[in-house]
Amino acid sequence: MEFADLQDLAGGKTIVSGARTPWFVLNSPELGKPFADFYESCKNTGVLDRKTKELLMTVLACVFRCPYCLEEHIKGALEAGASKEEITEALLIAAVKGAGTQLAWKKDLYTKYLT
């Protein structure tokens, strides 16, 4: 797995810096390694090419609001050959989807209390 530098929030020390082993694998290998293996399998196998997967993961990183993931998948998309325009469109799709879900769930409460 490739991760941006992660900081230990309690102590401020770098746990992973340019390494390929995530902190959760180092600190809980019995739980972390199966997840890391699953992640790698999804990332590296299947019918979708790497660029498509990186663009999808870029959108998901936005929707799930993970800045570490977003940075990693923007870099991954660039490495996989995505253009600036393709990444920009993916980011805008994420923004539209995020706004759409916000509007959808608010409608029920708006209708219930304000109409």
**CATH number of the structural domain spanning residue 87:** 1.20.1290.10
Q: Are residues 23 and 55 in the same domain?
A: no
Distance from C-alpha of 93 to C-alpha of 53, rounded to nearest angstrom? 15
Number of domains in the chain: 2
Give the confidence band of 20 by pLDDT, cuts at 50, 70, 90.
low
Q: Which amino acid is at 17?
A: S
Q: Are residues 62 and 106 in the same domain?
A: yes
Q: Are residues 59 and 99 in the same domain?
A: yes
Q: Are residues 57 and 104 in the same domain?
A: yes
Q: Are residues 28 and 71 in the same domain?
A: no
Look up the domain containing 13 and give its range: 1-45
Q: Are residues 41 and 63 in the same domain?
A: no
Distance from C-alpha of 70 to C-alpha of 61, rounded to nearest angstrom? 5
Q: Are residues 38 and 56 in the same domain?
A: no
Q: Are residues 82 and 113 in the same domain?
A: yes
Q: Tell me the two tokens of residue 39.
A: 């992640």
Tell me the pLDDT tens digit for each residue of 52-94.
999 999 999 998 989 889 999 999 999 999 999 999 999 999 9
C-alpha to C-alpha distances, 74 to 6, 31, 88, 108, nearest whole angstrom: 17, 27, 10, 35
Q: Are residues 21 and 72 in the same domain?
A: no
CA dihedral 80, 61, 21, 34 (to 10 degrees): -110
User: Is the predicted pLDDT of residue 112 greater than 70, yes or no?
Assistant: yes
Distance from C-alpha of 95 to C-alpha of 107, rounded to nearest angstrom? 19
Distance from C-alpha of 25 to C-alpha of 63, rounded to nearest angstrom? 25
